[in-house]
Amino acid sequence: MIALIGLPGSGKSTVGRQFARRLGLPFLDSDHVIEQRLGCSIREFFEREGEAAFRDVEESVIDELSQQHEGVLSTGGGVVLRPANRVHLRERGKVVYLRSSPEEVFRRLRHDQSRPLLQVADPLGRLRDLYAERDPLYRETAHFLLETGRPSVATLVNMIVMQLELAGVLPPKP
């Protein structure tokens, strides 16, 4: 399993889908798996049950997927908040941290109403806080770090493939 971690909006799902297609591997988005289990959106569950209840469900799903999934997994932005998730992802697969600055994420997400953590008066300030809290945890969990910046999705996929080939995780192309 190759897992993608990073801030909300760093490109985990979009890049993960293309990366899986490129490698001919199955793709899963842990947030979609969670929503299927819950029978509602993460945002609805968050509002009704709170973040701690959501993190409990997420931890259970990550434990299961990190043991069973043989492809590319994109994770929720807060997956690293639970120590068990960090351990399971790191020990059971290879983890790529798609590192985006809070400003870059804000530029991408400023019109997205579906992100519960960004429905606040100062979303950029919230992203800066999330980054300050989570960047050390992403770094602790990741085997590979990729600065996302502004390259295209295809370029990011190529960069991940190149890093994984150089590390011997993927066989080099003939």
* Annotated binding residue 10: yes
* Annotated binding residue 99: no
CA 147 to chain centre: 14
- C-alpha–C-alpha distance, residues 8 and 34, integer Å: 16
The three-state secondary structure class of 129 is helix
CB 38 within 8 A of CB 131: no
The three-state secondary structure class of 31 is helix
Place of tokens 């351990």: 87
- C-alpha–C-alpha distance, residues 43 and 118, integer Å: 11
Tokens of 6: 């990073």
* Annotated binding residue 9: yes
* Annotated binding residue 11: yes
Residue 119: count of CB within 10 angstroms of its CB: 14
Annotated binding-site ranges for Mg(2+)? 13
Annotated binding-site ranges? 9-14, 31, 55, 77, 115, 134
Annotated binding-site ranges for substrate? 31, 55, 77, 134
Annotated binding-site ranges for ATP? 9-14, 115
